[in-house]
Structure 1
Amino acid sequence: MKTGSSTTSNIMLRYGMKNKLTLARNTDFRDKHCINFTGIDYSASHMQLNKSAISNVIPNAKYFTIIRSPYTHLRSAFYYFKFSTMLDNSTFRQFVEHLEIYDNFTHLHHQHRNGQIWFLDPRFDMNQRDNDTYILQAIKELDQELDLIMLMEYYDESLLLLKKLLCWEFDDLVYHQVKTRKPKDTMVPEMESSIRKWSNADFLLYEYFNRTFWEKVKNYDGDFEKDLNEFRVRQQNVSNQCASSDARKYNSFCWRLVVDTHLIRGVAIQQQKTWMYTIRKERKEKCSSI
């Protein structure tokens, strides 16, 4: 959460609706074991990675996610979830200066200490959060399990790598930023030091995948800069096209581009109701509770 995931989910949902793919809901992964199940095509949710549970329901899937610098990640959460109003109107700086006393508080709001690695690896032992050797080993195992880690700070570049991974077109990747806010304050070195100490595992996670990200860019199959420029021109053209409210007719391309995630997800679920009977029948035949 708060890593550009809503914008990314919208891209996936729009592609799924265009191609009449079936979207998984989190309940589809609960305590199920399936054999040769084909009823669900993709998932686009905030969820902890449980590859064995997902592969039971979506076999042979590609796995990708998005992460963000822990500095801006925590700041975004502070303002989005209105932490200040719940903490006697504390400023972000005051919050950061006393992070140690807020462990339980942030956990309640799904913004855990080392919360990005928590989402990616439910097996991670938080008692080892200051053990760099243990952390790096866990990160290397994640690297083997995931096909792509996108970086919010390099979103367009990330989408080009995603395009190659999924064999998509530029129009499948154009986006409208969802739930974005401009920074309200400046991060000073003392604040960065406090956040780094508090979320050490997330920093090692980000540094590792920042390095491997640019290795993927270096090994890109094609002219990366040319494709990046072409995508950004297409992105700007689509933004201009959808700028007018007249272009945003309900469930149109522009509506799907700019609407909030929960609305487009609702439309996607509604769309697939026409073939849900077939999916339920197959699930009954091929899946069982564990």
Structure 2
Amino acid sequence: MPKDSFYFSILRHPVSMMESTFMFFRTITTFSKFKSLDDFLDNGQDDRSLTHNHVHNTLAFDLGYDNTATADTSGLETIVNKVIAGIEKDFHLILITEYFDESMILLKHALCWSLDDVVSFKINSRANETLTSVTMTTAEKIKKFNILDWRIYQHFNTTFWNKVRSLVGEEEMKLEVSQLKELQAKLSNTCLEGGQAVNAKENAWQTESVCGVVPGETAHRGARERRVSRFKAAMHLSLPGIPILCCAQRLRCNSFEACVASRLHPSSSWFRLYAGINALNPDTGKI
């Protein structure tokens, strides 16, 4: 990568991520023999679960660190400090999933972008019937089980809001989030059937995807969007190894804003920006 590349990632709260991961991966061996998340947290901590990248300290693992640390690990504070220092060295900005709109505004300011550059919407979202409530007791168990993730999240949630205050300002943030929501609603009404995301189907990947308008070249210099009959994707949010999905099948016409969504698994912590060009058949919606 060029020396002036800007690196950023996004973190999800370890409690909601653990609940989502358990529901999504409950058929894997590590989870399958347990009746509930509490049952696993009470009885499922063994060598297999403590080393599984989808089960234990997923944030740390995805960011490139050993995920085996527990609340009882000797020298835990040293490990936590080393991991946090490493992340701060590798990334210019860490965003927070629970404040996605605020994260986009902060990213906008960090990269000197416009609001149009960070507009997005969900393609599909987790079905309501798959959601389970997490009690305070269970939440504390999760924080202890994923102690490294919890400490990482606490630290970068704090730095996130510090950067909001220093780079944007709280009042300006509220204003720009409101403006962003208006643009999101307009884009959703333009691109999505019914103007809203659809529930992920049962037994399908319970994913949340986002789609955004991509600035690009047009026949008229200075225009911010290009419309093409054959899809030319130029920007997407992605995870390594996660298949890319195109939002073309949700669009109303064959000539549309260049936008693409990638499949983001609920337990994923990486948020990476790529640029590329893909050709899509507008009649089939397939690459």
| TMscore range, shorter length | 0.5 to 0.7
Post-superposition CA distance 1:129-174 (Å, at most 9, x none): 7312331232033223311111010000000011112222222212
Distance 1:94 1:178, change over 3 A: farther
**Cα distance 1:194–1:127, how it changes in 2: closer, same or farther (>3 A)?**
closer
Unmatched runs of 5 consecutive residues or more in structure 1: 1-56, 272-290
Structure 2 partner of 1:191: 138
Paired residues for 1:97-176 under 5 Å: 97-101=42-46, 104-105=48-49, 110-122=53-65, 124=66, 126=68, 130=73, 131-176=76-121
Larger proportion of helix: 1
**Contact kept in structure 2, 1:176 and 1:258, CA below 8 Å:** no
Identify the residue that residue 27 of structure 1 maps to in structure 2: none
Alignment counterpart, residue 181 of structure 2, candidates 226, 232, 248: 232
Which of 1 and 2 has higher RCO (CA within 8 Å, sep 6+)? 1
1:16-58 superposed Cα distances (whole Å, 9 cap, x missing partner)? xxxxxxxxxxxxxxxxxxxxxxxxxxxxxxxxxxxxxxxxx34
Against the structure 1 CA distance between its residues 133 and 237, is the aligned structure 2 distance closer, same or farther, given a 3 Å change threshold?
same
1:242 is aligned to 2:242: no
Tell me, in whole angstroms, the C-alpha distance in 2 between the residues paired with 1:251 and 1:93.
49
1:209 to 127, 149, 156: 156
Deviations 1:77-127 (A, max 9, x none): 1222343796147223322332413x525755x4141120122133x4845
Match of 1:9 in 2: none
Q: Which runs of structure 1 show a deviation greater than 4 angstroms over 4 or more consecutive aligned residues? A: 105-108, 257-262
Structure 2 counterpart SS, 1:100 = coil
- Identical aligned pairs, as a percentage? 25
Q: CA RMSD in A?
A: 3.4
Distance 1:173 1:88 in 2: 42
Confirm or deny: 8 A CA contact 1:113 1:198 kept in the other structure: yes
Q: Is 2:120–2:184's contact at 8 Å kept on the other side of the alignment?
A: yes
Deviation, 1:214, is 0.5
Deviation at 1:196, TM superposition (A): 1.6
Match of 1:252 in 2: 256
Higher strand proportion, which one?
A: 2
Q: Is the Cα contact below 8 Å between 1:151 and 1:210 reproduced in 2? A: yes
Aligned residue type for 2:20? S
- What is the match of residue 268 of structure 2? none
Q: Is the 8 A contact 2:56 2:67 kept in 1?
A: no
Which segments of 5 or more consecutive residues in structure 2 lack a partner in the other structure? 194-248, 266-272, 280-287
CA 179–105 in structure 1, closer or farther in 2 if over 3 Å, else same: farther
Q: Shift of residue 197 of structure 1?
A: 1.7
CA distance in 2, matches of 1:136, 1:178: 37
Pair 1:96 & 2:27 matched: no
- TM-score normalised over the length of structure 1: 0.61
Letter in 2 for 1:73: M
